[in-house]
A = this chain, B = another copy of it.
Amino acid sequence: MADKARRLIRPHSSPKRARRTEFDLIDLVRRRSQRRPADDSSLSALGTQHSALIKGIGDDAAVVRAGRARADTVVTVDLLVEGVDFRLKTTTPRLLGHKALAVSLSDVAAMGARPRWALLSIGAPARVWRGRFLDEFYEGFFALADAHGVRLIGGDVSRTEGGEGAAGEAPLVVDSIVIGEARGGRAVFRSGARPGDLIFVTGSLGGAAAGLRLLEERGRVPAGADALAGEFAHAPAESSKLTQSQARRLLMLRQLRPAARVEWGHALGEGRMATAMIDLSDGLSSDLAHLCRESRVGADIDAARIPIDPLIEASARFTPAQALRLALGGGEDFELLFTVSPRKASKLPEALGRVPVRQIGEVTDRAYAVRLVERGRARRLRPSGFRHF
């Protein structure tokens, strides 16, 4: 299928483009996208339960076929702009490729759906086309895609140049599209939480924001970040054995290489466990406020139950009060925040893979009022309360 295609991701016709490099890249991406993910056979074994790829890279558009009627298709897109969402000095191409996909996987997970297909648009200035930047970027992207059985089925590539009257170089921009699927009616919205539901969060909080502080102070990515990322897994149990320096480097990876809670998201949707769900991209206080507004409810959060990332303490760089603020207001943890009715909460597993969940509070009928309960006293948690550190 499209084996002979040379023009795969659609380059535009402008002669101003770095055409040869573009074709080299497209060829690399096409070949890599045709390699089947490790767990693809298990998906195929489920037969008509899943959508199937009919036409991948190499035509005017990609085609996938729904496996059953009333299948819900979930679509998200995330634009990452150099200088706004990332800096090349404080990440690596491989980590950036991972993160570009992770943020969109997280959105699909937060809908209770299983991510299946990805498309990727890249606008890159001349300095990025040179060398192995894009090769390494795609290695990071595909490593994460393979881990979750996601296939790249399309995209677009272009040069970027400075805008009107620009003297300097244009930024690298990456637009990441992920398409997922859920059984009809099982997608989970932000709007389904009811008073009395229990509030849960996956993993731990504050690590990404702590890592961002450390990266900004340091001004550059730590040496060996790619290798460290290779060994890196969510390992709160071992954090007591880490040196401060190790803990700090791992915190930076929390920022640069977020995990997307794909298994949790899909399990919560498929099992009809969650009444509402959102991923923590802006921070617990902001994202919980979004969920409450959509559901027209309030929430009480128990400060003592918030799973603060143990790497923060191990780094010996933040006070306990700072750690709590990072966990409440720091963004980009990409954990899942969800609500469960009391009668179903006992059926919720304590962990999935190595990723735990913890109950941190309860949904109330005080519309839109998000409160933090600390040592028996409740205070209003403002959505943007802890943005400025």
Contacts and interface: CB of A to CB of B under 8 A. Distances in A.
Nearest to A125: B163
A178 B173 CA distance: 19
B164 A294 contact: no
Contacts of A290: 7
A84 B171 contact: no
A84 B158 CA distance: 8
A72 to B, nearest CB: 5
Interface string A187-228: 101110000000000000000000000000000000000000
Interface in A248-305: 277-279, 281-283, 286, 290, 293-294, 296
Contacts of A64: 72-73, 75
A163 B172 contact: yes
A223 to B, nearest CB: 19
Contacts of A170: 81, 83, 162-163, 166, 170-171
Contacts of A75: 61-64, 117, 119, 153-154, 177, 179
Contact of A119 (B77, B81, B189, B286): B77
A162 B83 contact: yes
A73 B76 contact: no
B175 A121 contact: yes
A213 B40 CA distance: 49
Interface in A137-174: 153-173
A189 B55 contact: yes
A2 interface: yes
A154 B73 CA distance: 13
Contact of A84 (B17, B54, B166, B286): B17
Contact of A175 (B60, B73, B88, B156): B156
Contacts of A74: 61-63
A158 B85 contact: yes
Interface residues of A, number: 107
A21 to B, nearest CB: 14
Given A77-B119, A168-B166, A187 B55 contact: yes
Contacts of A160: 81, 83-84, 171, 173
A28 to B, nearest CB: 18
A241 interface: no
A5 B60 CA distance: 35
Nearest to A69: B69
Contacts of A282: 12-13
A258 B286 CA distance: 42
Nearest to A19: B384
Interface string A2-33: 10111100101111110000000000000000
Going nearest first, the 5 A-B pairs with the smallest beta carbon separation are A166-B168, A61-B76, A13-B331, A83-B161, A163-B171
18 contacts: A1-B191, A4-B293, A12-B85, A14-B85, A55-B187, A60-B106, A61-B75, A62-B75, A63-B74, A63-B111, A63-B182, A63-B187, A66-B66, A77-B175, A77-B177, A84-B158, A121-B121, A166-B168
Given A75-B177, A79-B157, A79-B158, 9 more contacts: A15-B388, A59-B190, A61-B113, A61-B180, A65-B71, A66-B69, A121-B175, A162-B166, A163-B172
